[in-house]
């Protein structure tokens, strides 16, 4: 797996890639794949890149839960990362600091790119998640979307959700594969994870070469906001998602369509018009987001031209 990059100008170090699985301890398929890959390097084509596979949250994996103290994938916030050894630190903050010290761009094994492998319980299939609008991330997402046709969920401008792992590396991408229940191994999910990861690595390798094949445009589903279930004074749900919404990931919401069902003889009142009308739901009834009080998130589909600046930025990064 370990390869050196050689350019026409001489021997140059092609940037190393960090591949993280099990950032959430109950998403078990990608960690299983990485374990197998460690034993059998032929299992997965790394496109001759130097790849460092790591389990994100081994303690949570051991305990078969998403996290121990707090969500690791919300723990890469500057204020948390700045906590020093004298302060009481949640286990995941310590782990985030360890990962950056080991594999961050200035770490002991410096990596310039982080690929973070996740799974979803929502019926949304597979997708890529990009945080914000860094040109290198958009370039990489364009190449992978051009190869696999995966939708891209662009998560930005959400003050309630910050501190994502890949943001601590110069370039990063999340691969979400599903649907699969938490804690369940599934051969199809393992194969889809492998395909998406191989395509990502091939895209990174190609990005530093002479003529990577970029699509003309990138289709993104830009995050607009999230919707919670209606709740009573004890904070319990008064209604559940209507079956028109269940499983409707990636399909536009119709104005006035029923969102909730209270399972009573009276139909639940139609939702008032909102900024989300015509929006496209994702992560509908995602198990991991119950604790975050997110019944689904709403996005807007946008088509962006693939810019020369993105291509140049990723080429520069991958040429080392
Ligand atoms: Zn996850």
282 domain residue, yes or no: no
Please check whether residue 279 lies inside any domain of the structure.
no
Q: Count the domains in the chain.
A: 1
The pLDDT-based confidence of 157 (bands split at 50, 70, 90) is confident
Could you tell me if residue 297 is inside a domain? no
Query: Does 33 reside within a domain?
Result: yes
* E strand or H helix at 99: helix 91-103
Q: Which domain holds residue 32?
A: 6-220+304-319
User: What is the C-alpha to C-alpha distance for residues 129 and 57, in angstroms, rounded to an integer?
Assistant: 20
- The rounded Å distance from CA 24 to ligand 1 centre is 5
Find the Cα–Cα–Cα–Cα dihedral 96, 74, 242, 298, rounded to 10°: -120
Task: Report d(CA 229, CA 171) in Å as an integer.
Answer: 35
> Which one, of 143, 128, 151, 147, lies nearest residue 209 by Cα?
143
Report the separation in Å between the CA atom of 270 and the middle of ligand 1, taken as the mean of its atom positions.
32
Residue 102 lies in a domain: yes
Structural domain includes residue 245? no
**Is 92 among the domain residues?**
yes
d(CA 189, CA 184): 10
C-alpha–C-alpha distance, residues 226 and 283, integer Å:
10
Give distance in angstroms: CA of 54 to centre of ligand 1. Answer: 15
Q: Where residue 5 falls among pLDDT bands split at 50, 70, 90?
A: very low
CA nearest to 306, candidates 228, 202, 220 = 220
Ligand 1 centre to CA of 19 (Å) is 14
CATH number of the domain enclosing 312: 3.40.630.10
pTM of the model: 0.93
- Is residue 24 within 8 Å of residue 92, measured between CB atoms? no
pLDDT tens by residue, 14-61: 789 999 999 999 999 999 999 999 999 999 999 999 999 999 999 999
Residue 227 located in a structural domain? no
pLDDT-based confidence at residue 6 (cuts at 50, 70, 90): very low
What's the pLDDT tens digit per position in 180-231? Answer: 999 999 999 999 999 999 999 999 999 998 788 999 999 999 999 999 999 9
């Amino acid at each position: 797996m370990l390869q050196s990059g050689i350019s026409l100008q001489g021997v140059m170090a092609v940037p190393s890639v960090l591949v993280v699985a099990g950032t959430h301890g109950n998403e078990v398929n990608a960690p299983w794949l990485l374990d197998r890959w460690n034993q059998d390097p032929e299992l997965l084509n790394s496109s001759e890149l130097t790849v460092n596979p790591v389990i994100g949250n081994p303690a949570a994996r051991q305990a078969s839960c998403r996290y121990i103290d707090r969500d690791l994938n919300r723990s890469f916030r500057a204020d948390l990362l700045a906590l020093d050894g004298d302060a009481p630190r949640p286990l995941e903050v310590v782990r985030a600091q360890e990962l950056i010290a080991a594999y961050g761009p200035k770490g002991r094994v410096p990596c310039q790119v982080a690929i973070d492998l996740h799974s979803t319980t929502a019926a949304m299939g597979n997708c890529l998640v990009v945080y914000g609008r860094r040109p290198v991330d958009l370039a990489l997402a364009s190449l992978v979307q051009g190869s696999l046709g995966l939708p891209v969920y662009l998560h930005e401008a959400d003050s309630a959700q910050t501190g994502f792992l890949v943001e601590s590396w110069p370039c990063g991408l999340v691969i979400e594969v599903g649907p699969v229940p938490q804690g369940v191994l599934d051969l199809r999910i393992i194969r889809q994870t492998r395909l998406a990861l191989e395509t990502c690595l091939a895209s990174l390798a190609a990005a530093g070469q002479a003529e990577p094949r970029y699509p003309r445009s990138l289709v993104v589903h830009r995050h607009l906001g999230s919707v919670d279930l209606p709740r009573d004074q004890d904070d319990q749900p008064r209604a559940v998602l209507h079956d028109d919404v269940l499983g409707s990931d990636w399909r536009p919401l119709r104005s006035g369509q029923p969102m909730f069902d209270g399972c009573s003889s009276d139909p639940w009142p139609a939702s008032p018009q909102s900024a989300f009308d015509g929006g496209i739901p994702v992560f509908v009834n995602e198990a991991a987001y119950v604790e975050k009080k997110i019944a689904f998130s709403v996005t807007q589909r946008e088509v962006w031209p693939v810019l020369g600046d993105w291509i140049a930025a990723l080429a520069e990064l991958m040429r080392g």
